[in-house]
Amino acid sequence: MAKKSDIGGKRLIGLSPTAWSHWVTGDATIQVQEVLNIELQWIERESDVLLKAYSPKYGNFILLNELQLRHDARMPRRMRAYAGLVEEKYGLPVYPVVVNILRPGPTVRLPNRYESEIMGLTAHQDYRVINLWEIEAEVVFEQNLSSLLPFVPILKGGDSEDNLRQALVRLRNDQVLADLEPLLSFFASFVFDIPLVQQMMRWDMTVLRESPWYNEILKEGLQKGRQEGRQEGRQEGRQEGRQEGRQEEAAALVLRQLKWRLGELSESQVEQIRHLSIPQLENLGEALLDFTDMADLEIFLA
């Protein structure tokens, strides 16, 4: 069994915080002094990373990094709160950055500021937004951005076997980076055929389950059907068809994870899983993380 490994934002940025700070700010003169341990309980999450940094031009400041798997409409308000709390705690200016990992739908707007007004009083917070799908994969290799190696497949131009193999080689050649291979394979599965990914690299559930992104996608995929079904159920005549679509989406996600975990399933197993309800699929999605062989799946289905 693989050892436990944190492959969340703190782990990735902590690999090379100075290189990361140069990339997100575009300022190569910045030096990171410390990766701070956040003590503000309600913002202590895997996606929030604080770096205490120094710039010859601006002096000491806090670089606030928020890694966001999918766009959250509440992010502008949260960034205003994060920046204010961090500035109050450390008494230093704050440079906030949001890194969006997965591309949203074409109609989704990605703001880079928070603004509100009441009775003539205004509140305003700017923050930098970096969208990974707009970043050239070659930048990761040229600037030796080890923190971004697991994301290469979803970067601009990263959907080639050559780039995938190059990222894999770099991870395997560095003992410190080796346990990031499952995360690379996870994001590769968004772009490449599963048999190719399986052939090239390992998919380690024990390691992946430590990643907040894997768990967020799993939870999101399973709960999306239930949430959207409830919302759309208010629209008469449309509930049944849309609920069915969400159930199919959840079943497809669970089947995908079972294939990674256990290998090919029989036709009867696939059909049985496709007919599970969304709550049953949610339970299976959580249980499969502990499956070791087909017998575990059979016991669950029985």
For each successive 10 residues of the chain (302 residues), what is the average pLDDT? 58 91 95 82 60 96 92 90 92 96 87 94 96 95 92 93 92 87 86 78 67 68 45 46 63 80 84 86 79 85 84
Parent domain of 28: 9-133
- 3: in domain: no
pLDDT at 245: 58
Residue 185 lies in a domain: yes
Domain-embedded: residue 175: yes
Are residues 75 and 117 both part of a single domain? yes
Q: Examine the domain organization and report whether 95 and 24 are in the same domain.
A: yes
Boundary of a domain, candidates 82, 114, 133: 133
Q: So what's the pLDDT on residue 210?
A: 67
Domain contains 101 = yes
Distance, in Å, from the CA atom of 174 to the CA atom of 191, rounded to the nearest integer, reads 25
Question: Which pairing describes strands 94-100 and 48-55: parallel, antiparallel, or unpaired?
Answer: unpaired
Q: Is 1 a member of any domain?
A: no
Query: Given the DSSP bridges, would you call strands 31-36 and 48-55 parallel, antiparallel or unpaired?
Result: antiparallel
The answer to whether residues 16 and 104 belong to one domain is yes
Point out the domain boundary residue: 98, 114, 133: 133
Q: Identify the bridge partners of residue 53 per DSSP, sorted by sequence position.
A: 32, 61
Whose CA is closest to 17, among 47, 41, 52, 45?
52
- Does the residue 18 lie in any domain? yes
2 in a structural domain: no
| 61 and 154 together in one domain | no
Number of domains in the chain: 3
> What are the beta bridge partners of residue 131?
100
Does residue 265 contact residue 259 with C-beta atoms inside 8 Å?
A: yes
Last residue of a domain, one of 207, 229, 247: 207
Q: Are residues 108 and 30 in the same domain?
A: yes
Query: What type of residue is 165?
Result: R
Q: Are residues 287 and 190 in the same domain?
A: no
Same-domain check for residues 66 and 142: no
Shared domain check, 125 and 25: yes
Cβ neighbours of residue 254 under 8 Å, at least 6 residues apart?
222, 273, 281, 284, 285, 288
What are residue 68's DSSP bridge partners?
Answer: 100
Compute and round to an integer the Cα radius of gyration of the chain. 21
Cβ pair 7, 179 in contact under 8 A: yes
Residues 219 and 262 grouped into a single domain: yes
Shared domain check, 252 and 152: no
Residue 51 lies in a domain: yes
227 & 198 share domain: no
- Write down the pLDDT at residue 106: 84
pLDDT at 86: 92
Q: In terms of domains, do 58 and 73 share one?
A: yes
